[in-house]
Structure 1
């Protein structure tokens, strides 16, 4: 277990850097728009450019996990995304360079989460994966929480271009650490060759059956809604707080950082509770999908209140409380999809999950930017955007609550709880 948790902490740092990279554009948004002379819609286009190849790369690179070791893939990804940040240090780099580097960055970071989850799941049995999965997703929150004050200071003292340079250099430092300590887990599937199968091994399941199952479809849509919400907050919350609420950069970035810490706390508490239940063999009071779906729906209602309330005494508790509950869906979706998938196909299915939910990252910056620019006022545009986000969360939560049932789906597909378990008869 020592190696398992050392790997988990290394990949937590990996995810911290990953999301610090994503946070740069939102945190430096007003300064970038002023420095490059672009509109909010153009800025939203630059943010969406990050996701242009994000989903495709997530699916394509995740498919390589059947042939290339995940230690190698993770090292290559972090080197690529770090190199993509550095051109913006050049003073002559303009809007075109910003868009081009965001496309490259997205292509390198798209596969990061599914490949990291596939790697860490090779260190833990199925029943114990909720906590390490949550820890990796805490890296998303921690990346924003760490990046918000640090990059705010960098932007204020060194200029917005150095915010790109700093995260690029930190990524290179992580690559050195991974090269020294990164290793495959004992439960990782073999790569590069077809394994010799015994009578107790789990046979591959047609991907069509997995991807069209109610569990995958509702987990993917719920994750899409949660990721839309997270991307909206990451991209537009600093601008919303400065333009509508009237806060300065420091106060806005601090609030974004605190909100990210709350997101991380929600994920960690959920992971710890899931682990305790698994170790005690305590049956959950609600099916996994029902519990997560309910939390996502609550987050959707809170988002509507946040977007329409005039009082900061209402807005701040919503952002630092129930809105954070949507993040639980990302953990539940990943563990649910792992549960219904044989180990040799896990990387591909997690890549497909990322392909779907990352579409929220492509669409939300562009849609919200257009809504704000096209509205009668900035405040009115943002209100419409928050209500749209609320509707997606409530819909995704309700669908997951009724149809995300990983144990039932695994039984139907013939996927046992662990590779060592006897296969379950396949229902035809």
Structure 2
């Protein structure tokens, strides 16, 4: 079996989409980074701030599904352009004096624009790489999130400390518009989109079959646990460092990049190991399914230790390592779904997967906010919230380990489609 060559320009598009995800996650992190100043200025209780964190995800899943079906018919180049324009425009109202309601509405709009981002970007990048070469580009795409935080946090925190949190939102709006211009000039549709025409000969699998397959369910369950940890990191990590552990806002800005630096290494390592294992003949059950699930179980077990140790340094280290290990699952699930989903249906399936696992983003920040507000003490509330996070991660990792069998999924689904209705 010969390996299909990678089209010219594939890595240019990968880099542009890496920047796309960089802006995407910088937009996400700013509320958590500016959490303490926002709560102080707007006089918010922890439960209200938790609601603000969750509001980003109110339309996130719905828009992901809608746009997922759209990209089956419209070139991803134009969809990506429209999404990034929405992100940029949603940031500018925060530059002025606003209230809680305006901030909440803008975050809902931003979430609607960012909901389809990763799935559309993955669908776009898969038009540039054949299946056996997709894990590493997916890992690089995922790293846009980590680098978005690593690069944006020090810059945005400097703006927050030296000016105010309003200007941090404005800076992100300008960055979003810059990406829109770059993509308009350099963005292209991948040549492997021609495989869609070839897929006309490939039987369509009913969406019910695809969405109830064990690997699809396993991907949703496993990534749900990872996203629970991620959404807590986006909303509550910096407030925990400042209010829970007593660091200054300036110091908290530097500490806040640690989980993302560690996670970046985990994601790139996972992408590299996965492709090496596949090149050596390991099935995608092992090279993708097991490789993505086990770190969730280990990470959750590490987080479970957090409330039982003393010392801010050790607590931060456990939080960084435990939550950072979640990154592996993001690398392996989209390629696993691509293994058994017909090309003409792939955009919608990956989008629905994203819509389902990101429901954790609605639940987790609000749960943490409520737990903190009604706990006996502030630190006790944070520790209870992180313990809940640990349980969710371990359970999701175990479900992934049990359900992720992509190497046999395609044959099974195609066999079901080929069976006569009246056998």
Structure 1 residues 197 and 25: CA distance shift in structure 2, 3 A:
closer
Given that 1:133 and 1:331 are in contact with CA atoms closer than 8 Å, whether structure 2 keeps it comes out as: yes
Given that 1:290 and 1:402 are in contact with CA atoms closer than 8 Å, whether structure 2 keeps it comes out as: no
How far apart, in 2, do the equivalents of 1:206 and 1:282 lie?
A: 29
Deviations 1:174-199 (A, max 9, x none): 000000111111112588xxx4766x
Aligned to 2:162: 157
RMSD: 1.9
TM-score (norm 1): 0.92
Given that 1:59 and 1:355 are in contact with CA atoms closer than 8 Å, whether structure 2 keeps it comes out as: yes
Instruction: Give the deviation of 1:333 after TM superposition.
Output: 1.5
What runs of 5+ residues in structure 1 fail to find an aligned partner? Answer: 416-423
Aligned to 1:56: 62
Instruction: Give the deviation of 1:283 after TM superposition.
Output: 5.1
Deviations 1:257-307 (A, max 9, x none): 122111111101111122233345455793532232111100101111224
2:58 aligned counterpart, secondary structure: coil
Aligned to 1:96: 101
How far apart, in 1, do the equivalents of 2:187 and 2:307 lie?
A: 43
How far apart, in 2, do the equivalents of 1:203 and 1:279 lie?
A: 28
The answer to whether residue 63 in structure 2 is matched with residue 20 in structure 1 is no
Given that 1:262 and 1:321 are in contact with CA atoms closer than 8 Å, whether structure 2 keeps it comes out as: yes
1:34 to 20, 40, 45: 40
How far apart, in 2, do the equivalents of 1:8 and 1:289 lie?
A: 24
Given that 1:287 and 1:405 are in contact with CA atoms closer than 8 Å, whether structure 2 keeps it comes out as: no
The answer to whether residue 227 in structure 2 is matched with residue 227 in structure 1 is yes
Given that 1:293 and 1:401 are in contact with CA atoms closer than 8 Å, whether structure 2 keeps it comes out as: yes
Structure 1 residues 426 and 295: CA distance shift in structure 2, 3 A:
farther
Structure 1 residues 285 and 22: CA distance shift in structure 2, 3 A:
closer
Deviations 1:371-393 (A, max 9, x none): 10011111111111111110110
Residues 18-417 of structure 1 mapped to structure 2, 5 A cutoff:
18-91=24-97, 93-188=98-193, 195=197, 201-282=201-282, 286=286, 288-414=288-414
Deviations 1:111-159 (A, max 9, x none): 1110000000111111111111111111111111112111100101121
How far apart, in 2, do the equivalents of 1:280 and 1:231 lie?
A: 36
1:66 aligned counterpart, secondary structure: coil
How far apart, in 1, do the equivalents of 2:284 and 2:195 lie?
A: 33
What runs of 5+ residues in structure 2 fail to find an aligned partner? Answer: 1-5
TM-score (norm 2): 0.94
Aligned to 1:419: none
Structure 1 residues 189 and 23: CA distance shift in structure 2, 3 A:
farther
Aligned to 1:421: none
How far apart, in 1, do the equivalents of 2:213 and 2:190 lie?
A: 29
Given that 1:290 and 1:401 are in contact with CA atoms closer than 8 Å, whether structure 2 keeps it comes out as: yes
Deviations 1:330-377 (A, max 9, x none): 122211111121111111001111111110111111111011001111
Deviates more, 1:41-50 or 1:76-85: 41-50
* Divergent runs of 4+, >6 A: none
Aligned to 2:10: 4
Aligned length: 414
